[in-house]
Amino acid sequence: MQFGLNESQEFLRDSARKFFAAECPIAEVRRLMETDTAFDADLWSKLSEQGYTGIIFPEEFGGVGLGIVELVLLMEEAGRALLPGPFFSTVVFAGSLLDSLATKEQRRKYLAPICRGEARSTVAFCEPQGSWDLADVHLTATNGKLNGEKLFVPDAAVADWILVAARNGVFLVDSKAPGIGIERMHGMDLTRRLYSVQFEGTPAEKLGEIAGLARPRAIATVALAAEMVGGMQRTLDITVEYAKTRKQFGKPIGMFQAVQHQCADMYLETESARSAVYYAAWALQHNAPDAAAAVSIAKLYLSDASRSVGNRGIQVHGGMGFTWESDLHLYYRRAKASETALGDATFHRERLARLTIDARAVSAEKA
Amino acid sequence: MDLNLTPGEVAFRDEFRAWLEANVPKDWAEWREKPLEESFPYLRAWQRKLQEGGWAAVSWPKEYGGRGATLMQQAIFWEEMARLEAPPMANALGLGLIGPTIIAYGTDAQKKRFIPKILSAQEIWCQGFSEPNAGSDLAALQTEARRDNGYYVVNGQKVWTSYGWVGDWCELVVRTDPTVPKHKGLTVLLVDMKSPGVEVRPLRQMTGESEFNEIFFRDVRVAVENVLGKVNDGWNVAVSTLMHERGAYGARLIPIFKRNINRLIELSRKIQRHGQPAAQDPVLRQKLAQCYAEVEIMRLNQLRAFSRITATGAPGPEGSIQKLFWSELNQRLQQLAQEMLGPYGQLLASDPRAVDQGLWSYGYLRSRGNTIEAGTSEIQRNIIGHFVLGLPRSY
C-alpha cells in the first residue's frame, strides 16, 4: 500500500502550480472578479493548451485520459490559485456528466469541443427549495420541452449548453434556445458566478436517465473538495507567513502560543482534509466498495474544515484580515459557496448515516 | 498512489492471521476484566507464545528477533490483533519504545544483555521520564546522577510511570551535568528496579485504577556500563523514545477506534430516544456520522504519514498530528457514547445495569487523560507550530 504520489502525479501537480502562478496570479483573480462573468477567453485557451479541459476524458474525444486522482491534484492547485470562471462547471461537472451518461454521438458533439477548449457548459440541479437531494428535483420534461426554474447554476451565462437534471432524465439545453432566461444571482463568491435559469417551453435533448447522475456527481463532489483543500492550503500559507512577520509587543505574533495553536489547527485540518480527498478520489477511480462513503466523508469534513481554516486565518491576521485588500476574504467567500454546493456537511452526514447506520441495519436484518 | 495491499502485505497478513487463529487463547474473555496484577502472568505467557512464533516484535530488525516489518505491515499486525481480539502483550513499553531505543543507541553488550529478555517478557520495562516538576518541560527534570568511580548514584523522583509496579528495568532520564543548558546535561541510564534505594508507589488516577506509579530513587547505584548512548546526550536518546511513542502508537489505536464507533452504531439501533431508536434520531445520526468520518480520517492520516515516513526514511513531527487527532477524537467519541446512553452512561462496571459492563463510563473517564499523556495537546500544537510550520519558538 502506498499513499504517496508517484512521479508523474508529482509532475502534474508541480506543473499545474507553476502554470497557475504564472497565468492566474491573485491580481488577475481580482481583475476578473470585477468583470461581468469572471470568465476570460485567453485564460481558457491556455487551460486547454495544457490539456486541462480534457484531463479525465477519453482520448477518442480529444481528452488526456488521466484518472480522478490526477483530477483532484489539478483541482487542488486551481483552488490554491482561486481560479475564477467555469472550469469546475464545464470540465468537472458537465464534462463528467456527458462522459458517463451521453451516447458516443452526443459525446462527439458535446464533450469533444469541451476537451478542445471550444465550448463551455454547466449543470443545473437545484430548484427553489435549494436542495441537493435527487428526490427534490421536480422539473419534468414533457414532449422534449422544459418548463420551470433552476437556481444556483454556476457560470450559466458563459455556457454553450446547460445540462439539466429533471425527474425523467438528464437533458441538454442550448443556452441560446428559445424560452430560456438566464439571470445573475448575487452570491458571496465573486470569482464564480451563480445564475437562475428559467425554462419556458425550452427544447431539450435527453442525455440519459437520472440515476446516471450518481457517478459524475461523485466525481464533481470530490473535485470540488480538492479545490477547497487548495484554498485551505493557501490560507494557511498566507497566515503562517503573516504570523512570522507581523510584530506586536516587540515580537512576531507567531511566537505567541495562542497564535501558534491556531496555525497548528489549520495545519491539522488541512492535512486531514487532504487525506480524505485523496482517498475518496482513489476509491472512486477504483470503484472501491466504500467509494460512496468516502466521497461523503471528504465533503462533510471539507465543508466544515475549510470554513474553520478561513476563520482562523482571518483571526490571526487581526484587523488586516478584515480588509478588502487582504486576499483572505476571497478564499473565505469561495469556501462558503463551496460549502453548500453539492451538499453541505449536514447533507453528507445524513448520506453517510444512510450508508453506514441504515445499510448495516438492513444487512443485519437479512442475516 | 496505490491503496491496495501489495502481495507481500497480503502474504504477511494471511500468515499472521493463520497463526493467530491457531494460537489466540480461547479463555481471554474470562481474564480481561480482572485486575492487571492478576492477569499479568497470563499476558507474559501470551507474549512468550508470540515470541516463539516470531511475532512479538515484528517491527524490529531480523537480527534482533523481529521481522523487519514495514510500517504498513505493522499496521496490519495491529489490525489483525484487534480483529481476533487477541490479548495485549505484557512488555508493551519494552517492545514498542525501549527495545527500539536500545537497538538504536545501545552497545553490543547492552543489546545482547537486554533485547532477548524484552522479547520473551522475562524482564518487563518501564519508562522514568516525567517528574513532579518536569512534565511538558521534560528537559527541566531534576533527578540527578553523580559519578562515583564505576557507578552513577541516582537521587530523585519520577512520576506517571506506566508498569512501574511490575517493572524489572527502567529507562531512566537523569541529570548528569547541572552546569550546562538543560537539554545538554541529561543522560539515559538503564536501571535495575530491584536495586537498593528504589521505591515504587502506586499513583491512583481519576478512573480509580493505578495504571501508573511514582518511583523514588535514594542513592541508587547504577554501573556506568548501563549508560544508554553517550553521557550528556540523553535528550536525543529520550526524544527517540518519544518519537516511537507518538509515531506508531496511532496505528495500534485505529482498529480499537473502529470497533468503538461500530459498537456505538450497533447500540444506536437498540437504544430508544424520543420514542424511536437512537439510530433514527436526526441529531444523533449526525453526530454518529461525524464521528465515523473522523475515525476514518484518522486511519487515512496514518496511512499517509506511513507513506511519507517510508519515502523520507525518518519519522518526523507527523506523530504529533496523529497524537493530537486521536486524543481529541476519542474524547468526542466517548462524549457521544454518553449522550446516546443518557443516564445509563454514568453506570460503572460494578452496577448490574451498566451497558457493556461499564465500558463507556470507564472510557469517558479514561479518555480525559488522552490529551495529557504522551505529550499534552498544547505541546503537540507547539511542536507543529515550530517544527512543521517554522514559527518561532515560544519558550
How high is the pLDDT of residue A365? 43
Q: Is the ipTM of this complex over 0.85?
A: yes
Which chain B residues are closer than 8 Å to A271 by Cβ?
A: 301, 304, 321
List where CATH 2.40.110.10 sits in chain B: 125-232
Number of domain units in chain A: 3
Rounded Cα distance between B103 and B240, Å, is: 11
Give the residue carrying C-alpha cell 481583475: A31
User: What's the number of CA atoms in the CB half-sphere (13 Å) around residue B282?
Assistant: 2
- Which residue type occupies A342? L
Instruction: Return the SS3 of A128.
Output: coil
**A266 shares its domain with A228:** yes
**A290 shares its domain with A311:** yes
Which superfamily, per CATH, for B125-232? Answer: Butyryl-CoA Dehydrogenase, subunit A, domain 2 (2.40.110.10)
Distance from CA of A178 to the nearest CA of B (A): 44
Rounded Cα distance between B121 and B94, Å, is: 9
pLDDT-derived band at B39, boundaries 50, 70, 90: very high
Subunit contact B293:A263, Cβ cutoff 8 A: no
Q: Does B268 touch chain A (CB under 8 A)?
A: yes
Q: Is the pLDDT of residue B318 over 90?
A: no
The beta-carbon neighbor of A1 closest among B3, B290, B321 is B3
Residue A240, Cα to own-chain centre: how many angstroms? 26
Range of the domain at A156: 122-210
Instruction: Return the SS3 of B9.
Output: helix
| 8 Å CB contact between B372 and A251 | no
Rounded Cα distance between B38 and A122, Å, is: 68
**A59 shares its domain with A191:** no
Query: What's the average model confidence in pLDDT over B332-342?
Result: 97
What is the length of chain A?
367
Sign, Cα dihedral of A166, A171, A175, A178 = negative
Residue A36 has a CB neighbour count (10 Å cut-off) of 9
**Which of A180, A210, A240 is a domain's end point?**
A210
| 8 Å CB contact between A122 and A94 | yes
Helix (H) or strand (E) holding B212: strand B212-223
| 8 Å CB contact between A278 and A3 | yes
pLDDT-derived band at A364, boundaries 50, 70, 90: very low
Query: What's the average model confidence in pLDDT over A276-289?
Result: 97
Rounded Cα distance between B142 and B178, Å, is: 9
Say which DSSP state B66 is in.
S
**A304 shares its domain with A320:** yes
How high is the pLDDT of residue B310? 84
**A326 shares its domain with A220:** yes
How high is the pLDDT of residue B250? 79
Residue B230 has a CB neighbour count (10 Å cut-off) of 12
Does A2 map to a domain?
Answer: no
- Spatial neighbors of A356 by CB under 8 A, at least 6 apart, are A293, B265, B288, B289, B292
What class, spelled out in words, does domain B248-388 have in CATH?
Answer: mainly alpha
Q: Is the pLDDT of residue A361 over 80?
A: no
How high is the pLDDT of residue B246? 67
Which chain A residues are closer than 8 Å to B1 by Cβ?
A: 2-6, 9, 69, 278, 282
CA separation, residue A5 to residues A10, A282, B3, B297, B383 (Å): 6, 11, 11, 18, 26
Q: Does B390 touch chain A (CB under 8 A)?
A: yes
Under 8 Å CB pairs connecting chains A and B tally to: 160
| 8 Å CB contact between B189 and B226 | yes
Q: Is the pLDDT of residue B288 over 90?
A: yes
| 8 Å CB contact between B167 and B202 | no
How high is the pLDDT of residue A366? 41
Q: Is the pLDDT of residue B248 over 80?
A: no
Rounded Cα distance between B192 and B113, Å, is: 12
CATH number of B7-90: 1.10.540.10
Does A1 map to a domain?
Answer: no
Rounded Cα distance between B126 and B135, Å, is: 17
Q: Which is it for strands B125-128 and B169-175: parallel, antiparallel or unpaired?
A: parallel
Tell me what the pLDDT averaged over chain B comes to. Answer: 94
Phi, psi of B83 (to 5 degrees): -60, -40
Sign, Cα dihedral of B329, B335, B339, B340 = positive
pLDDT-derived band at A367, boundaries 50, 70, 90: very low
